[in-house]
Amino acid sequence: MRLKKLLLLTPFSFLFLLSEVSAHCPLCTVGAVALAGGATLIGVNQAAIGLFIGAFAASMGWWVSGLIKKKYIPGQRAALVLFSFATTVIPLLKLMDGIKPVYISLIGNYGSLLNRTYILNLFLVGSILGLIVVSLTPWISKKIVNLRNGKLMPFQGVLLTFVLLLIGAVLMQLIL
């Protein structure tokens, strides 16, 4: 019986060796995945789902980049965030086929560079916006702290991320 308990605990023994756990925003990561999964169940369009998947991928990249303490290459953090984004979003492009034609008529006849129909992948557009939101939220949070004379609201970063993602998703649902 003791051997069975020991074998069950062995895979989790590394947890006792951890002195501290830190992340860019672990609640944001879990929240983004939960929101994206829930969105598919209620029929949300692919741009809004892409927003949450892009946010998830970016926050995972931030989290992993925070685990690596030594700087091996210039721009390492940005490279890891973009790598996480690319390895999450690109494989999903085959599954998320939300394509929308966009006609842009600026100058000239139809067919000229400034007067044609372009095809947008709504999932990719949403994912890129999710990447931008998660990447800019820490900067926006710092600006809010500066405006409030150094005072930080409880869960400010998480709340700010969720509010910005929710606003973006609602706008995408209504516009696209």
Residue 165 makes CB contacts below 8 A (sequence gap 6+) with 32, 35, 51, 52, 55, 130, 133
Using an 8 Å Cβ cutoff, are 69 and 27 in contact? no
Question: Which pLDDT does position 33 carry in this prediction?
Answer: 64
Question: Which pLDDT does position 94 carry in this prediction?
Answer: 81
Cα 37–40–43 angle (5° rounding)? 150
More confidently predicted of 44 and 131: 131
User: Which tens digits make up the pLDDT trace of 5-37?
Assistant: 544 444 544 444 444 444 445 566 666 667 666
45 has a pLDDT exceeding 70: yes
Identify any residues that bridge with 102 across adjacent strands, giving them in sequence order. Answer: 118
70 has a pLDDT exceeding 50: yes
Using an 8 Å Cβ cutoff, are 65 and 80 in contact? yes
Closest CA to 142 of 120, 126, 157: 157
